[in-house]
Structures are given as C-alpha cells and as structure tokens.
Structure 1
Amino acid sequence: MDGTGGPLLCFPNLNSSCRRLLRPRSEAAVLYALLALASLLTVKLNLLVIISISHFRQLHTPTNSLLLSLAVSDLLVGLLVMPIEGLRYMETCWLLGRLMCALTPYVSYCLLSASVGHMVLISIDRYVAICDPLLYSTKITLNRVKFLICLCWACSMIYNGCILMGHLGQPDRFRSCHGECVMVISHIAGTVDLFMTFVGPCTVMVVLYMRVFVVAVSQARVIRLQTAASTVTAAPTAKKSERKAAGTLGIVIAVFLMCFCPYYYPALTGDDTSNSLSYFAVLSWIMLTNSCMNPLIYALFYPWFRKAIKLIFTLKILQPHSQQAKIQ
C-alpha cells in the first residue's frame, strides 16, 4: 500500500502504473507451491522420456524419435511457459519488460504448434505401421522422420511469426497501463489459426486413427482364425506390439484433443483471442497440462518406459555398455 492507503501499484514510481491484485499470504503460498509442482513435474517426467530414448539404442526408432521431439517441446513448456504464465497470473502485473512481452507468446505458440505437428506425424506413423506393415521399414526411415521433425519445428516458427507479427512488432499497442502485457489475435486470424492448428490436424488424426482401429480389429480377427486353423495362410499383419503402440498413442491424442479444445473457445464464439480475457488463464492452463500428461500415459502403458526409468533411478545407465540393454 502507499501512504494514503490506496491500492498497491505494479510500479509505484509511475502514475500510469497498473494496479496489483493483493492475495492473502496463505493463498499465494499454496498457488506458488502448485505452480512449482506442476512445472517441476512436467520438466522431470519429460526429461526421463528424453534420457530413455536418447540413451538406449534399442529405442532409436522412427516412432520414438517423434516421441523424443514431442518430449523436448513438452519439457520447454514446463521450463519456460508454465513459470512465466504462472507469474503473470499470480502477480497480476507484467514485470519482465517489453522484449519478454513480445517473445513469450511467440515461444509458447511455437511449442504448442510443434506439439500439434508431432501428433499428426505420430498418427501417420501408426497408420503406415498398422495398415501397410510390409512397406513400413522402407517408407518410414529414421532419417526421413528426422527431416520431418525439423520441418515441423521450422513451419511452427514461421507460421506463428506470421500470426503474431503485429504483437512482435508492437507488444504494447493494446496496453492500457504500465505493467500489462496484452496479446490480441483478431477473430479473423483466430479463425484461420483454429482451422490451421486444430480443426485440420484433428481431422487428419481422427480419420487416420479410425482407419487404424478398423484395420487393427480385422487383423486381430485374422490372427484368431490363423491360430484356429494353422494350415491357412493369412495376409501379413502388423505385430502385436505395433497395434498396442497404436492404441497407446491413440490415448495420447485423445487426451491432447481434450486439453486443446477449450483454448479455441473465443474463436468459436466470434471473439478476439486475448490473454486479457477473464477466463483465458483457465483455458491456457488446461492446454498446458497436456505437456505433463503425455509422459504419465507412457508410464502407464509402455513397459519399456517403466524399465528405462528403473535403470535411470538405479544409476545403471552409468555402467559400461548400458546403451545396449534390452528394454523392449
């Protein structure tokens, strides 16, 4: 408070400063603890995925390369985006300056758009593995996947640079007082973004996984018939592990859709998308939690991930030739 008992200002020496919302100490302590927990958990879980796939050579597959890159994106969300967004919500003042005001939404959008691109690539990978298993090894090579990963990141950076061009050039143009960082995406740009980064990719993912589901069911029926009459020659089918991986990644995509859907509510209602909206923090944090959910799903459904974690925590990865360990 100032000497007159007036409201606390973000920058007391500036008459144009925004007002700071005061929270009870107990409430602030709980919220800061939850923020630190969410950020730390997201970073640690995704770091385990990165170490596991990077260290063990048996996990150097095209599918796992996509999971590795996705984990890098999720780790950066926990390391950079969550703390900054949490600080914005807790302090109700922007204390990081004009440059960070310009860069923060751009970095956040790049990471989230890259996640969408990785989900589409994972869907295509599973589609080929299940629906065309004989040609999978020739169509989906490690070098080809690495190229697509680089392309995905590059497209994300260029696309979001175009969407946020106005904000990057003038980050304070919508600011009403000193201590605010307002990012506004017009309804037109928001609608374009809705179709480019949500409706289009989600349509591709859903269609591909519906096809994968149908083929997986028919392949399981073929295997049962082949087991009942072993003399009958059946058509080539995907491995059981491939079908299980497709199911697990299907869960990853379903969780992804549930986390990302609310964020596009303003575009669906015809409003501009802005971080100054009263409910924007809720929509944003629902989306950010997806970065923590992915490794939890891996831990529940991937035996190789659980085994890798055990080897990491027992420090057996420091032993000679541990890269050659049989994980799956």
Structure 2
Amino acid sequence: MAAAPKVTCLSVPGVNVITNLNLSVTSGSAPYNQTALRIPPYSPEATALFAMAITLMMILTIVGNILVIIAVLTSRSLHGPQNLFLVSLAAADILVATLIIPFSLANELQGYWAFRSLWCEIYLALDVLFCTSSIAHLCAISLDRYLSISQPVSYGIQRTPANIKVAIVVVWLLSAIISFPPLLSLDKSKGGVEVCELNNERWYILYSTIGSFFVPCLIMIGVYIRIYQIAKQHTRCLPREKPNPNKTPGNKRFTFVLAVVIGVFVICWFPFFFSYSLKAIFPETCLVPAPLFTFFFWIGYCNSCLNPVIYTIFNQDFRKAFKKILSILWSLFELASQLATNQNIV
C-alpha cells in the first residue's frame, strides 16, 4: 500500500516528504537539482542490513509466487478453476515485488523521492492497485468457497474456468476504480519542492482505508463465519446422507488453507491501515511512533512472500507440485553443469 502523507504524529515511510531540503524540478535528464546536503536516515550498517533483508524478501516473493503459478498450470491435482484466483493473486504479489518494493526501498534508505514526477504518480497508483487487488482476490476466493459449500449443485455448474476468469477481470477492474483517485489527488507542494505522496485529506484517507481494507475484511470475516456455521450444520447431518464432493476432506483442507491465507493477510496489513486511519480520525492526538509505523509499513509488504509458504505447509498438492518443479529444475541445472564441464575438457 502506498505510504501516507507525512503528519505531525507519525513519519510515513515509502514516499516521505523532505520539507527541509531544497529540491527543484527540472526538465532535463536529471529530475532534481540538489542544492542542499541530504543526510541519510540510517547508518551505513543499518542501511546494508535493511537492504539485504528487503532484497531477500523480494527474491522469495518472486520465486515463491512463480512456483505457485507453474504449479497450478502444470499439476493435474491443482487444475480446479478456483485455483485461477491463486494464479492472479500470485501475479499481483510478483508485481508488488518488481514494481513497488524496489522504489519503496530506495526511498526509505535515501530519505527522499529520487525519481521523476511521472513515475511517482504511476508508482502510487500501482501500489494502491496491487494492494487492493490482493484483498479483492481474497474476497472473491471467500465468496467462491461460500457458494461452493452453500450451493454445491447450482454453483458447481456455473463454476467454469471461463466464469472464474471473468470474476478475476472484475476483481482487477474494481481494484483499479478504487486506486484511480491517487492520480487525481496527488499532493504537490509549491515553492519548488517536489512531493510524492498521497492526498492527506481526511476524505481520501478514510476512502482508501475503508474501501481497500476494512470493508473487504468485514466481508471476508462474515463469509467465513457463515462457512463455519454451514460446516457445523453438516456435522449434525445423518450418516445416511449422500456424500457431497464439496464436503470431502480435500475441500475442507482447501477451505482451511484459504482461511489461513486471509488471516495472515489481515494480520500483516491491519497495523498499517489502522495507524493510517488514525490520522484522519484523530489528526491532532494520534501518537504512532515513526519507527513503529515504519515496521507496520514493511510488515504489510512481507505478506507478498508468505502465501507460497502457507501453501507449502498446509497443502499436500502444492507440496508435491513444488517438489516436482524443483526436482526438474535441479536436473536441468545438473545437466547444464555437466555439459559445461564436458566443453571445458574438450
């Protein structure tokens, strides 16, 4: 999620406003002219550790989510149409790791926005888009689970790959609608200082936090409460009842895995959105320390690398698919190494 504007009660990472520096926008090849000494926000040691930790997180996010996509597309046991949601969610996490986190990291370590104004606008919109799309995917997955359990026959007929793909397109379109306002409400201060931040007005903060996080969270919680109630009713059914494919242990495990994914997402992002919303509700009295808010900010991004880990721990089909993919890659690596060795000998 794109960082919030700088406020009196907290200093926001990601796209900070450096109001004590003289920065001037130019139309030449360099976006800014430096007229004052910039002091890095961290020591060299802390900068190196921070950079290594976030770089490792980016690598894990990219590799893990690529494995998820390959597994769903190649493993027969994962060919269910509902898993297309996981492919799209993994793609969103990969985009976060490649298009958002590197620039957030550079901005965090340098203490100022060192890139062009146009990229600032694109960066902010994409950041909100990818975060919103992640939780929108989780909402869609929750509703898919609920319908498959509550209406197994009628929904099972409609639950085709084509319809799931349409639902994914709708998810991305709704996410784009929510993330579009940053392009129209960027706060650019006057006097030659280039500011890359979201609108700090109350309406936008409440709009973004409620639309991108709190409302979807309430929907998912309500849906999973209903799923739990239905599952409880099923356990009371007579043993003579015909078995339903949506009540099998495999489906129950998959529902549990998705519940874990949603729970981890909420745990990772709730501190940031809650702290961010405090600025709008209590602008004069919110007292979130800057280091704590920075921690909340980056914990949210860490969520992008956790889903593949959750699938590996809790889902046997994903474990088997990952092992198969990695074994094939290792065999190809050994073959390439052997060919290279033979060429050197010749």
Q: Tell me if TM exceeds 0.5.
A: yes
Q: How does 1:32-51 map to 2 (within 5 A)?
A: 32-51=51-70
Asked whether the equivalents of residues 58 and 97 of structure 2 are also in contact (C-alpha less than 8 Å), the reply is yes
Q: CA offsets per residue over residues 209-246 of structure 1, 9 Å max, x none?
A: 01111222332343xx52xxxxx345746222111111
Match of 2:197 among 182, 187, 196: 182
Q: CA offsets per residue over residues 111-136 of structure 1, 9 Å max, x none?
A: 00111110110001110122222233
Asked whether the equivalents of residues 194 and 267 of structure 1 are also in contact (C-alpha less than 8 Å), the reply is yes
Whether 1:29 aligns to 2:52 is no
Which SS does the other structure have where 2:306 is aligned? Answer: helix
- Report the equivalent of 1:247: 256
1:39 Cα deviation (Å)?
A: 0.8
1:17 Cα deviation (Å)?
A: 4.6
Moved more, 43-52 or 279-288: 279-288
Asked whether the equivalents of residues 187 and 271 of structure 1 are also in contact (C-alpha less than 8 Å), the reply is no
- Report the equivalent of 1:160: 179
Whether 1:266 aligns to 2:276 is yes
- Report the equivalent of 1:323: none
Q: How does 1:204-283 map to 2 (within 5 A)?
A: 204-222=219-237, 226=239, 232-234=240-242, 236=244, 238-264=247-273, 265-269=275-279, 270=281, 278=290, 280-283=293-296
Asked whether the equivalents of residues 42 and 78 of structure 1 are also in contact (C-alpha less than 8 Å), the reply is yes
Aligned residue identity for 1:250: A
Whether 1:299 aligns to 2:312 is yes
1:95 Cα deviation (Å)?
A: 1.5
Aligned residue identity for 1:186: E
Aligned equivalents of 1:316, 1:78: Cα separation in 2: 22
Aligned equivalents of 1:89, 1:70: Cα separation in 2: 26
**Larger RCO (CA under 8 A, 6+ residues apart):** 2
Aligned equivalents of 1:175, 1:281: Cα separation in 2: 27
- Report the equivalent of 1:322: none
- Report the equivalent of 1:308: 321
Aligned residue identity for 2:251: E
Q: 1:176 to 1:113 in 2, by over 3 A?
A: farther
Whether 1:111 aligns to 2:130 is yes
Asked whether the equivalents of residues 77 and 317 of structure 2 are also in contact (C-alpha less than 8 Å), the reply is no
- Report the equivalent of 1:290: 303
Q: 1:34 to 1:75 in 2, by over 3 A?
A: same
Asked whether the equivalents of residues 65 and 146 of structure 1 are also in contact (C-alpha less than 8 Å), the reply is yes
5+ residue gaps in structure 2?
1-19, 25-31, 284-288, 333-346
Instruction: Give the percent of matched residue pairs that are identical in Structure 1 and Structure 2.
Output: 27
Moved more, 249-258 or 176-185: 176-185
Match of 2:141 among 104, 122, 126: 122
Asked whether the equivalents of residues 17 and 177 of structure 1 are also in contact (C-alpha less than 8 Å), the reply is no
5+ residue gaps in structure 1?
1-6, 227-231, 320-328
- Report the equivalent of 2:92: 73
Q: 1:8 to 1:25 in 2, by over 3 A?
A: farther
Aligned equivalents of 1:9, 1:21: Cα separation in 2: 15
Asked whether the equivalents of residues 9 and 18 of structure 1 are also in contact (C-alpha less than 8 Å), the reply is no
- Report the equivalent of 2:152: 133
- How well do the aligned residues superpose, as a CA RMSD in angstroms? 3.0
Aligned equivalents of 1:179, 1:18: Cα separation in 2: 16
Aligned equivalents of 2:83, 2:331: Cα separation in 1: 22
- Report the equivalent of 1:89: 108
Q: CA offsets per residue over residues 54-78 of structure 1, 9 Å max, x none?
A: 2234423221000110000011111
Aligned equivalents of 2:123, 2:112: Cα separation in 1: 15
1:26 Cα deviation (Å)?
A: 2.4
1:163 Cα deviation (Å)?
A: 4.2
TM-score normalised by L of structure 2: 0.77
